[in-house]
Structure 1
């Protein structure tokens, strides 16, 4: 099959439609005196006075029987020996916006000093022609075109046009065929030479200057003879089929039928064929109407309807839903961002308001209370039109309140130049907002570069440690930058900070690499290109720093290390060996010097924790865990002669676990600011690709294993690892405090995050008494087990404190209530971080992107007052402690695990 190339018309979005008006060929017969006596105004027309009179040409695009553009007109030009314009006209539309039915309507206009009796104009049609821009194969016409001109008619551009550029040959009888053979030969020869001329212009035939001149002269002679022959044939045809004495509508007799004119035009040439391609439009918004079951309409047969795109997907356009028929219809108001009437009213009111009067405006007591209520709204609360008007009206009064800035930004239309001109200067005068409000301004609903630039300026005041806590969300916020913006303020800020701090740059680099490697359906090509461009700019910025080349080489070596570990983990997982042989295979591979893992020289910063410099791996101390994915435990040598164990697994996307650990780290930071150190263990985790990642290994034992080993008692486990005969329960006081605090912290945090699939195998306990959770495959209220409790507080955990009547359990409840109250104070920050992750390719967020943030908001009970929220949370603790469903779930999970073993 021969190779072929073509382009689509949608790709020509910057190129306007052009047409060159070349020349007019034809012969005009003089008007008989009998006609001039009846129509004396005809003797004043320019074309009747001079066969080379000044005509001008208009060209216009039509589609579907309607004009698509305004007409373009040639400049005035005086002709001497022939009507040759040789002028390019530009039509005000691009090729990308042309419909497939586009036609070019070209009209030649004659001039007369006397007004035309019928049109009362000084310009009357000399002739018109209509040529489609796309042929029958939907390919754009190009090159020289010879168009038949229809005398005394303006080109109409209709679908069934009366001025076609080509007239199909009429069916002739035998007599006509004999008499017109001579004409056919001349016309055929003329058409053949014109086709050869077009091929030469397209570069298919080489040029020869002196020979081409002779051919052109011969062509002009043949063309004139062919025109005369064709005109004569047309005259004979009209005489045979028309009635005697018929006259033209313009006042001419059959002169119009005898005159034959052709207009030569030229369309742009392209290297390849241009095929029509329309943009793919989203289906119109639909509205759902549910009719009551007792409606009379139910008694009638369902109407025959023509379903549109996206409605009749399952072949069931309407059906019974709860006894009532569900009818889906197109509704133009669904999906509209605002009411057009309200938007117009707002623009009129705000354009009429005096800026000087607003500066001195003060609210009354009632309005001040209303403003305070609006300022107390959370980041997910929708602000209605009345509230927006109030915020705008008293914007100068609210300048001193930092809480009001985000409400003011939501109340301003940043696409309206008038509002932008008034609102932009206020951003710099406003009271400085906190970081959580700045993060809200980077969300998907704020696409104004002014607003996002202001938020970035506030982030610049955060130190690198604080920025590292929000880095995962800030990388996702790059998706929400204005499309087509060459220099994103957020990207430039992150690149600059990451280039000057290796720890920040390490995680910035790997967060970007994971998003670039995500080729799933949920990650669009546009977003991959954004992350790739930011990564490229980051590497370029690194080159400008003093140690930039060394850092780039370090990232390269890290990538090589992770690539080797990914391949090793994949081979071990997919091999059919038993676990013992898998472990032997792992140790053999690591001990082989040619694999360059036994010794790493020079030392390499570990991607999971760049503060750790690794120099190699201890092969004999590595292991393969009992799990379906067979993750590896790798013990790295460090420059401080200590061991740093990690878990590396292939076949699992760790980005959801990475998000949960990042939120736990943030919440630990927030609680410490409130003097609440709950001894949390936010171990490190890093997704290195969409299928692999590393976790910090924390020496610990699952609650299931501890209960089994110590005969059903966690207290016995704590007493064995932290004995103190003088303590009330025989456990060292520091260890018991660590256990109580960590239990409280994780109970509260996992409840807020809606962590599911909790059982005794993913609840761990370190020898020092630190309790923590692992395996966050289900969050935001999702759980594979039905009727799972909202909080995981099993009887084994309470027994480890000394029982539900002990002082330790009462202390545990106090820690829970204090930490829940502290995290409620930072609800805006937590919700804004989840809002920035709405577009992330994380399983439990993809299920319901906007709903994911609302689920976190519901668990924080922000609609309640402080006292009501605390009482409700205390009831939740008691219900979770006494839940028999949790006991049944743990028993069922343990039974299944025992059966698998």
Structure 2
């Protein structure tokens, strides 16, 4: 087969166009007897003049339904013939059209009276024609087309149209007449010549015959002449020949005459009209190709809005069970397979619509047991089944049987605080009877934990009563605990349902919003954090934020300011927030100027000192002292221009020192051009994990330094005095080792206990902090770990910085799951079982931290789930969406195995990463790259 070049219609993203050329045809004048019966025909435009004014409408149809509005030719006065030569553009593109698209073309006549009435009282159809846009081979029609006009009919556009552009051929049957046109030899030669010329003209249009303007004009006129003669001949009566037998009356030589149009109808006269149109031409044939839509992700499918809808129970795509001899790869050779490829078709309704039979069954079963469920108690086997269901994590979807059993024993489960979230998933909130019973159980339920309350505030719960119950649980949390979840609670505002009474200009003042506003107005730290979280959401440089969400956060910010006015210290706190905003604006401008300035790093440092000392910026003295946005408990009185620095980086972040009201100093790093929201989220999770470990009496000496994103591309970071591992290992002062650094800053003395020549307190800080960060960075999938973003403070506390890659993403190959280098282990005394080696203590800290955090996995997973719609780039995995982030963290918790198996897995991971050679190569390459850049 020769190669064939073509294009697909799905890639043709241009509007559909058709050129209306001219109308040809003749008809007999109306007899006087007809005009007596219908005097209105005397004033019809086409009966007054053979060149009367007509106009044409073109409308696309598919499956007997219009695809869009019609396009219409402008008014035009005709002199010698009805010639438009007008391109009409339809408001639809080729790429969106189905294969059965038809164009309904109607020519309209002017008439004083429309006998059928209707909207077009002075417009009656002169004729109509319906032509398919694609031919029988699914190829787009191009070039000139000749359409037969069905007189006094509007083009219907139906799938089985009554106005086809080409009259269908009729097959003769035995004993019946078959329509045949008796033509003369002269007419036959003329039609053959016309067909030949039309074919040559199409060949020339394709560029295969060179143009010759004066000769082409002669050919075009000859073609028009032959076409007019052909149309004139078509107005003559046709003759009918019988397929077999002989006619009974009026037959001569096997032929009988019959009129073309029915008589007795004043709207029908002998005649025939043809409309010549033209479709656009393309360099290659256009073959129909439908757009293939990928299966919608479960998180993007939303159920139909319902007043009582609360939980959307998504279902996975059904499994396809292949029969004997059927292979999904199409390589089957059995007779049942037939060699055809098996195609799996995804039905989106399967993902979120209940099976009607299952829905009816569930409704009948649940409706019969309402009176008996109150005193129902599970037997031992059912108790074990329910305990297994209660142990499920927040991401596990319940099966239909599990939902039915949870609903059946709902009164018994009311004493189990873990069961409420499972009940919410089991209730059909579209069923009013069920929803009323579930809501009535809420006051009787055992007090739920905070992690369950956060799950009830997620996107899957829309019932206001359930969300209000979760907010009531949060009211019992103290301000310090609430501050740990505040970032996620601000995101949860997006999932609040919108009541019917609300309008577009008045967003819902939900119970969650009211709770956050009241608590934040009464606490300086909460109010400070809430204000800046809202400012980030209202940032104009966040194009991904929807208009509805911006209105929502603007309303919450406005209500928060109003609530502040009602408090005793409200006016003062509003002024503090205003001054904080001015400070951040000035620092942002300085950062942008430093970044855009030319010159080396020393010149940028001099420019920074000059701008900080400039009186116009008002940074030298704050009166009264200003609570720092990064940490409102720190009151700063001004900046110290001499103690500033600019770091070696593309974005040129700068270091600035503030004086405090107690005479101390507080240093921070400010940067623009970088999104710090992801680092802010990681540090928040680290602080939360530190609190969870401390509650179990396990203090791993973590250093969750403060980070505050002031916009989507600016923010501040607390500066912690420390040294990167790369400089420690390359410093001869410390003996090129971590142990030497610890001995230098924490030498052993006879008065204090020591280990390996290091004060015991500093060594404990180092061992515990390394264990804690090894576990935490593994759980969060922190990537791009090298010796420059691993820091060690003089007191022995180890910590990580720069969380640009999380959830398993890493820009380098052979990235480790846990950053534990040989040098870090040697700082503990090595992995050999010696008397002073702290490696075994390090392993035990790792195991204890891992098992402790596994028990709080639901809380951490729910926090990530609430961040799904935060538009933080690192939380959206390519091709998977934001919901995949929760699954990745869940996988690293190993919730599908027991505690001993999880400890065994972690021990194997520690041994493997400690002796891996891949991270060593990465550190060497990174150090070489940094040295080359310097």
Shorter-chain TM-score bucket reads: 0.5 to 0.7
Aligned equivalents of 1:137, 1:708: Cα separation in 2: 71
Other structure's SS at 1:335 match? helix
TM-fit CA distance, 1:664 = 0.3
Single out whichever of 844-853 and 565-574 deviates more from structure 2. 844-853
Aligned equivalents of 2:295, 2:63: Cα separation in 1: 27
Other structure's SS at 1:646 match? strand
TM-fit CA distance, 1:137 = 11
**Matched-pair contact (CA < 8 Å) for 2:876–2:884:** no
**Matched-pair contact (CA < 8 Å) for 1:442–1:452:** yes
The 5-angstrom pairing of residues 234-383 of structure 1 reads 291-294=328-331, 329=345, 331-350=347-366, 352-383=367-398
Aligned equivalents of 1:841, 1:169: Cα separation in 2: 56
Assess, with a 3 A threshold, how the Cα gap between structure 1 residues 393 and 99 changes in structure 2: closer, same or farther.
farther
**Matched-pair contact (CA < 8 Å) for 1:647–1:694:** yes
Other structure's SS at 1:377 match? coil
The 5-angstrom pairing of residues 516-527 of structure 1 reads 516-517=538-539, 519-527=541-549
**Matched-pair contact (CA < 8 Å) for 1:285–1:335:** no
1:849 is aligned, of 879, 882, 891, to 882
2:487 is aligned, of 452, 464, 472, to 472
1:738 paired residue number: 765
1:840 paired residue number: 870
Other structure's SS at 1:396 match? helix
| 2:658 equivalent to 1:658 | no
2:218 paired residue number: none
1:538 is aligned, of 556, 560, 571, to 560
Offset from partner CA, 1:497-545 (integer Å, 9 cap, x none): 1111111010001001101115444322222222122111211221222
| 2:752 equivalent to 1:715 | no
2:806 paired residue number: 779
**Matched-pair contact (CA < 8 Å) for 2:542–2:712:** no
2:928 is aligned, of 887, 895, 901, to 895
TM-fit CA distance, 1:403 = 0.9
Aligned equivalents of 2:386, 2:440: Cα separation in 1: 22
Assess, with a 3 A threshold, how the Cα gap between structure 1 residues 358 and 615 changes in structure 2: closer, same or farther.
same
TM-fit CA distance, 1:865 = 0.4
TM-fit CA distance, 1:470 = 0.3
| 2:780 equivalent to 1:753 | yes
Offset from partner CA, 1:660-713 (integer Å, 9 cap, x none): 000000000000000001111000000001111001000000011111112421
- Runs of 4+, deviation exceeding 4 Å: 63-68, 98-102, 147-151, 241-244, 281-291, 324-330
Assess, with a 3 A threshold, how the Cα gap between structure 1 residues 701 and 332 changes in structure 2: closer, same or farther.
closer
1:166 paired residue number: 122
The 5-angstrom pairing of residues 547-566 of structure 1 reads 547-566=569-588
| 2:849 equivalent to 1:819 | yes
Assess, with a 3 A threshold, how the Cα gap between structure 1 residues 169 and 361 changes in structure 2: closer, same or farther.
closer
Aligned equivalents of 1:326, 1:852: Cα separation in 2: 33
2:409 paired residue number: 394
Other structure's SS at 2:633 match? strand
TM-fit CA distance, 1:328 = 7.4
Offset from partner CA, 1:582-618 (integer Å, 9 cap, x none): 0000111111222200112221110000001111000
Aligned equivalents of 2:475, 2:927: Cα separation in 1: 50
What is the Cα-based RMSD across aligned positions, in Å? 3.3
Assess, with a 3 A threshold, how the Cα gap between structure 1 residues 282 and 430 changes in structure 2: closer, same or farther.
farther
What TM-score do the two structures reach when normalised by structure 2?
0.64
Offset from partner CA, 1:440-475 (integer Å, 9 cap, x none): 111111111111111111111111110000001101
**Matched-pair contact (CA < 8 Å) for 1:679–1:741:** yes
2:626 paired residue number: 604
Query: How many residue pairs align between the two structures?
Result: 638
Aligned equivalents of 1:761, 1:332: Cα separation in 2: 48
Offset from partner CA, 1:756-802 (integer Å, 9 cap, x none): 01111000001111100000000111111112111001111111111
2:208 paired residue number: none
Aligned equivalents of 1:547, 1:149: Cα separation in 2: 80
Which structure has the highest helix share of the two?
1
Gaps of 5+ in 2: 1-59, 71-88, 92-110, 128-260, 268-290, 297-316, 321-326, 503-507
The 5-angstrom pairing of residues 345-494 of structure 1 reads 345-350=361-366, 352-483=367-498, 486-494=508-516
Assess, with a 3 A threshold, how the Cα gap between structure 1 residues 429 and 64 changes in structure 2: closer, same or farther.
farther
**Matched-pair contact (CA < 8 Å) for 1:512–1:531:** yes
Aligned equivalents of 2:769, 2:263: Cα separation in 1: 107
Aligned equivalents of 2:427, 2:781: Cα separation in 1: 35
Aligned equivalents of 1:339, 1:537: Cα separation in 2: 44
What TM-score do the two structures reach when normalised by structure 1?
0.67
1:317 paired residue number: none
**Matched-pair contact (CA < 8 Å) for 1:284–1:332:** no
Aligned equivalents of 2:865, 2:679: Cα separation in 1: 17
| 2:597 equivalent to 1:575 | yes
